[in-house]
Amino acid sequence: MKKTIFNIGFLFCTALMIAPSYFIKSKTKPVIIGYVGGFRGLIATDSIDVWRLSHINYAFVDIKDNRVWLHNEATDTVNLRKLSELKKINPDLKILISIGGWTWSKNFSDATLTDTSTRNFALSAVDIVSKYNLDGIDIDWEYPGMIGDNNVYRPEDKQHYTTLLKELRKSLNDLSLKTRMKYYVTTAVGGSQNYIDHTEMDKVQQYTDYINIMSYDYAGGWDAVSGHHTNLYVSSRDSDQYSAHRSIQAFIAAGVPPAKIVIGMAFYGKGWQMESTDNNGLYRKALKSARGGGFTYLKDSLVNKNGYKEYWDAKAKAPYLFNAEKKIFISYDNERSVKEKCKYVKQYHLAGAMFWEYNNDKKGYLLKVVADKFKYVKENK
């Protein structure tokens, strides 16, 4: 993630599509969107807690020859069918395909270069939705108009990103006329001002149901100094001034209604090998990255165990672990921090919360907390 200080300036937004108005409290429960990774192979769908989720975003679907395609067809087809069958258990559950991700965002720029290619891209995505009885499409274009993972990018990506979402909305609306079903268009966005500057969020929001802000990875092994990677507020010692709150307020200023914004939660940690034990590793010089791991692993194996001690940054509303002997620092979300994020969702009347990634917390420690705060009830049927 490129580090850019936020510039908060309010932009006018329209309500062309389906969003509630600014600051009107929703009468429905906040959404809980879980990204479920198909990149590992077959998914154990019978272990998914369907009563504590409103949406599952299947990650990821790839792009080839300017069309959407199932990169791992042998397992993707099985996964999508089994995920769709979960709706028989919980009829309110929605299943979306998530297209792109960090590795597979390389071809978005080419695929959206012309009106014809964009239309064909949208139709190929809708074909998958229709074939597997799914409920919509999530676009995870990680770096429109920006350098990313060896990607093609162009200045025109800024407008083409909007056009893509508009075309997806149109194509899904056409499908809806045939099926009488409601379909969703969502997008996952980077939490930086740089991302906002390379997109047209005031226009993008017109065609989307939810904008999932990836309010994590604010810090990582690429940094020379450790830090919180998914903090709610800015820490007193953070020179980069990153936080979920700043990201969300920047997107609101860019024209996104709060009722469409989904806050991101990290069900995993980021680790650093530190140079010293000073300040328990927080905001100090790092030598290299270290293993973080999923939250189930962190809670069961490291939190106040095996030489690791858990600390709490009261200003940032963020936990961290430090092993003084090994000089390893880990930033992550825990039960306390996700409670704070849930409280924030209610305070600012946001759409809800999303998390990456389901398999990182196999025991459901964090999901249970989020579902409880949003008053989801697990039904044993």
**Predicted confidence (pLDDT) at residue 194 exceeds the cutoff of 90:** yes
Mean pLDDT of 45-59: 99
260 and 236 Cβ atoms separated by less than 8 Å: no
State pLDDT tens for residues 202-230. Answer: 999 999 999 999 999 999 999 999 999 99
Give yes or no for a cis peptide into 60 (omega within 30° of 0).
yes
The C-alpha atoms of residue 238 and residue 230 are separated, in whole angstroms, by: 13
Clarify whether 200 is annotated catalytic.
no
Secondary structure string (H, E, C) spanning the chain: CCCCCCCCCCCCCCCCCCCCCCCCCCCCCCEEEEEEECCCCCCCHHHCCHHHCCEEEEEEEEEECCEEECCCHHHHHHHHHHHHHHHHCCCCCEEEEEEECCHHHCCHHHHCCCHHHHHHHHHHHHHHHHHCCCCEEEEECCCCCCCCCCCCCCCCHHHHHHHHHHHHHHHHHHHHHHHCCCCEEEEEEECCHHHHHCCCHHHHHHHCCEEEEECCCCCCCCCCECCCCCCCCCCCCCCCCCCHHHHHHHHHHCCCCHHHEEEEEECEEEEEEECCCHHHHCCCEEEEEEEEEEHHHHHHHHCCCCCEEEEEECCCCEEEEEECCCCEEEECCCHHHHHHHHHHHHHCCCCEEEEECHHHHCCCHHHHHHHHHCCCCCCCC
Handedness of CA 214, 215, 218, 219 (dihedral sign): negative
pTM above 0.85, yes or no: yes
Give the pLDDT band (50/70/90) at residue 69: very high
Give the pLDDT band (50/70/90) at residue 31: very high
Maximum distance among all alpha carbons in the chain? Answer: 63
Mean pLDDT of 246-259: 99
**Predicted confidence (pLDDT) at residue 257 exceeds the cutoff of 80:** yes
State pLDDT tens for residues 339-377. Answer: 999 999 999 999 999 999 999 999 999 999 999 999 997
Give yes or no for a cis peptide into 357 (omega within 30° of 0).
yes
- What is the percent of the chain where pLDDT is above 90? 90
> Which domains, ranges and CATH numbers included, belong to the chain?
31-266+334-373 (3.20.20.80), 273-330 (3.10.50.10)
Set 85, 142, 275, 325: catalytic member: 142
pLDDT (0 to 100) of residue 352: 99
State pLDDT tens for residues 291-334. Answer: 999 999 999 999 999 999 999 999 999 999 999 999 999 999 99
Chain centroid, CA 378 distance in Å: 23
pLDDT (0 to 100) of residue 378: 58
State pLDDT tens for residues 147-167. Answer: 999 999 999 999 999 999 999
The mean of the pLDDT values for the chain is 93
Kindly report the backbone phi and psi dihedral angles of residue 290, in degrees, each rounded to the nearest multiple of 5, phi listed first.
-140, 165
The C-alpha atoms of residue 244 and residue 344 are separated, in whole angstroms, by: 10
72 and 50 Cβ atoms separated by less than 8 Å: no
**Residue 378: beta bridge partners?**
none
**Predicted confidence (pLDDT) at residue 381 exceeds the cutoff of 80:** no
